Structure 1
């Protein structure tokens, strides 16, 4: 007759039967539930698709979305945090400098997602406070029925007066990032933005409005994130995309967990999902350049290795962001 195992031994056997450390998406023993509050700058339709795909994997989690431009999302979040009651559990917004600012204020919960193993370390915070989820390069888009291509940022500043449209850095996180990078790029700098002002460049709130204006012919040229321009072209709009020869600013739409979240398990599951094979495939299906190794990019994108990237230190951009935006607003009389 076999002697029964001591209770402690049974418990330890159950513990060690579970995977430790770097795991896989949605293990059977992890069942997040409850409500997850997502603050994001993703386009409305894309945010809804992202959440729907997440809930296919985690059906017990309901997701509430607040969506606006990155600058408005973060302004709302910071106001809530200052009052001691942040409402978001997870943030999914444009760029790393935004997350560097939040990290410096101790507003993010570190979480080393096991799914990050398949993503290059350059695209996430080494302390695991945030992770890039995709590649978004800012490019030139032009209406092929109304304009000739230009191959550089310098040439874009010389297109016919009033025929260039761009998102405002006071609303768009991508535009705020571009402002920080371009003003620190030799040969461009603040002089480039001064030339845009002199040439009566049109400002709109977000990248979506830029893509629509150029597709409709309201303006002939635009400065826009590449996935929107490529998506517009693939859908039949008379537009074409140029990656300027000086290089392109690139953001990664990071995701991070809010410190003190009331649903940490669901927040971690959301981060895992976005970085997972399935999550990256969903992003690619929506027309984004994925970050994860082994996920095929959508039609029409250059290889990541082909991009000439303009950049500046994220911490420096975070520190100077408000001053840069204020100078821009004064220049463009916003």
Structure 2
């Protein structure tokens, strides 16, 4: 079940001065990782106290929309799974441009033309499986539509997960997959959980043999001794970049800029690799056991369609899998 946490992070080892700034960050990044992120950020910026709201991307966006309707949000910085949600906020004039952000070493193709949000990592979605239950691992997305596989498969729901919304929206745009593939999985007995954590738990415990999952959760679990392994499907992977943005209504713009600067820094990218993410900066190696990022096939999607079709995709998915 998705957990919503509100946390004020204590700055251990530092005494806050009377001039300390408070920065409120809304995020979908896992809680344990954000604890590490804030600790590392505070090593460079002990004068900034970070308050954190953490939930799935869909719930973070719902909270923001409710706050906007009520007159405004306390959020200063947003760090969520996908650029599509950021694009919506940009179109609604909810983000602040930051043209001075340090983006050297990041592929221009991943950058917003108006410098309103910035990628922080590359997160791909592929197939996790329980190695104790699967003798012949799947190699492709098409394998998940086979009845004997689909009946033992779980996936995250786009109603809860931003990465899942991008994944489903991307696959349905592909001529050789489309809704026919998503429906074939449902007809074969595949089920939807909530977020990616639900998928990992089900596969790791052996409740399901296969799952659709972001790669770092599977790889981290494998490193920690969980009986899971991960497949980068032959057709390619879907991907999100977990962008960071400054909210237009922030009352702490300098602290917000400092947080964005840190997220794009070499130190933050090195921490991301340690946490099991593909790096964005050119020349950095991927975590051990990961393929070279240059060899990845990323399934392309029309982001404008992902945004315009988002509600329809969620409703169609809910009709197939429940919601």
Aligned residues: 303
Partner residue in 2 for 1:314: 303
Match of 1:175 among 164, 175, 196: 164
Structure 2 residue aligned with 1:141, among 128, 136, 149?
Answer: 128
Q: Match of 2:13?
A: none
1:247 counterpart = 2:252: no
* Contact 1:130–1:257 under 8 Å retained in 2: yes
Give 5+ residue unaligned stretches, structure 1: 1-31
Question: Which residue of the other structure, out of 112, 115, 118, is the alignment partner of 1:131?
Answer: 118
Return 5+ residue gaps in structure 2 as ranges: 1-18
The Cα shift of 1:33 comes to: 4.1
Residue 254 of structure 1, CA deviation: 0.5
With the length of structure 2 as denominator, give the TM-score of the two structures.
Answer: 0.91
Q: Does the 8 A contact of 2:285 with 2:292 survive in 1? A: no
| TM-score in terms of structure 1 length | 0.88
Match of 1:104 in 2: 91
Deviation digits for residues 223-258 of structure 1 (CA, Å, limit 9, x no counterpart): 000011111111122222111111110111000110
Query: Secondary structure of the equivalent of 2:260?
Result: helix
Tell me if the contact between 1:36 and 1:64 (Cα under 8 Å) persists in the aligned partners.
yes
Determine whether 1:294 maps to 2:275. no
Q: CA separation in 2, counterparts of 1:45 and 1:276?
A: 20
Query: Structure 2 matches for 1:1-334, cutoff 5 A?
Result: 33-147=20-134, 148-158=136-146, 159-334=148-323
Contact 1:33 1:266 in 2 (8 A): no
CA distance in 2: counterparts of 1:84 and 1:124, whole angstroms: 30
Task: Go from structure 1 to structure 2 and tell me whether the alpha carbon gap of 1:85 and 1:244 turns closer, same or farther (over 3 Å shift).
Answer: same
Choose 107-116 or 265-274, whichever is displaced more. 107-116
CA displacement at 1:113 relative to structure 2: 4.0
Contact 1:277 1:295 in 2 (8 A): no
Q: 1:278 to 1:137 in 2, by over 3 A?
A: same
Max radius of gyration: which structure?
A: 1
CA distance in 2 between counterparts of 1:248 and 1:297 reads: 16
Q: Deviations over 1:17-37 (max 9, x none)?
A: xxxxxxxxxxxxxxx941100
2-side partners of 1:61 and 1:224: how far apart? 34
